[in-house]
Amino acid sequence: MLNRRNFISSVAVCALAILGGRAATAFPFVDFPGEKSKDVSLAERRRVPNSVVEQMPPVNLPELMKAFDGTEVKSIADWEQKRRPEILDFFTKNMHGIRPVERPEGLAFTPLEADRAMLDGKVIRKRAKISFKGPRGDWSFNVMAFLPKTDRPVPVFVFICNRALEKYVDPELKNISFFCPVDLITSRGYAVAVFKNTELALDDYPPYLTGEKLTVQDPVFTNGLYACFAPARTYRSWSAISAWAWGASRVVDWIETEPAFDAKHIAVIGHSRGGKTSLWAGATDPRFGLVCVNDSGCCGAKLNHVPVCLSETIALDNLVNPHWFCRAYREFNGRDAVLPFDQHWLAALTAPRLLYIASATKDYGAGPWGEFLTARHASPAWELYGKKGLVEEGPFRPETPFHRGCVGHHLRSGEHNLNRYDWSRYMDFADRHGWRAPR
């Protein structure tokens, strides 16, 4: 999801016109009957009812189980040796960019303090610095973890935090945030390891207006950890989302050195652009046994080959956040409905591990129906392994989680956010799949 919503509201139409983007509102705006006189927002009044658009099936959806050369994918071997590698390579080169390295040289973990008891001794806080070397310099970032006080290793969520830590993940736990409810997480027997995405790569390159001209910033990536590896950004250089996902993997490297964590049960979770990041982290690092994708929207878990009114587009994401993806991804601006691929391919790269996609009813920009369809259409990857993907236990509706398969989903009432309800459902899903059962 875009991180500058007020800005989007004012330039969305202009942006799409400039870049030739497909308007997500392919169907005309309509008013709800009798709503014009009520005190409701413009977005609410112009929202197309679910029955008109949001239950539509995808159109001309590219096949997941057919390789680029046209051969059918019929076995695990076909998937693991051919189809999965070519999908991963495609998204690397055309969306998220090529990384200069995976596990870097000089990777080191330095405790920043002694373990500290908190919340009346029920929670333990760990803090560490993760440092590494590149051919052009060194870099480091911090991780902060909260664990329930117990004598056994605990499963852990790696949380890609894209909001201010002091406000949304208070290190002192004087104010428990809904965004990262440490009390709830630890009381359920889980740990959470948090890092701030911008400690790795910046997330602030907005376009701006000069007179009547809309100018797009095109960062060369000479800041952050990028400068450790290359002098400038190229056409297929790794993007910010890839860099943040890479950072999540470095947190896993640290977790594997800490006996207090159950390194066999590591989840990754992110919200909005953090959700896009968690999806890519799960695709690139098989150590994430559960991938939680919260309100990620376009270029995350939302399917493009379906009209979802008011949802964002590839052109708009590339305009407002040109650092999120590699430059090559701009080739797909305006082609959302006719792409030769779609996000169910990316979601399927998590198979046969656990995947959970969540949406919110009023998160119009994310296109909840499109996110649900990605969960549905990625499921054949799990079926190859004899597992169930998304098991639809009822209609697509709020507060009705689907947890029986290896692909989970819920639609929460409310707006674009991550809250205690979401966290509870993620942990319910992990519980159901044996993460805290006797092992």
Residues labelled as active-site residues:
272, 416
Give residues with Cβ within 8 angstroms of 86, minimum separation 6: 67, 68
- Decide: 227 and 220 in contact? Cβ < 8 Å: no
* Distance in Å from the first CA to the final CA of the chain: 38
Residue type, 322: P
- Decide: 20 and 315 in contact? Cβ < 8 Å: yes
In terms of residues, how long is the chain? 439
What is the helix (H) or strand (E) element at residue 269, kind and residue range? strand 261-271
User: In sequence order, what are the beta bridge partners of 140?
Assistant: 131
Q: What share of the chain is helix, strand, coil (3-state, %, to 5)?
A: 30, 20, 50
Asked if the peptide bond before residue 33 counts as cis, ω within 30 degrees of 0, the response is no
| Token couple for 396 | 């697509």
Closest by CA to 198, choosing from 130, 235, 127, 247, is 247
Q: What angle do CA 338, 344, 346 make, to 5 degrees?
A: 105
Give residues with Cβ within 8 angstroms of 318, minimum separation 6: 19, 324, 325, 329, 330, 333
Q: How far apart are CA 277 and CA 291, in angstroms?
A: 10
What is the helix (H) or strand (E) element at residue 129, kind and residue range? strand 123-134
| Token couple for 332 | 């797909």
φ, ψ of residue 432 to 5 degrees: the values are -60, -30
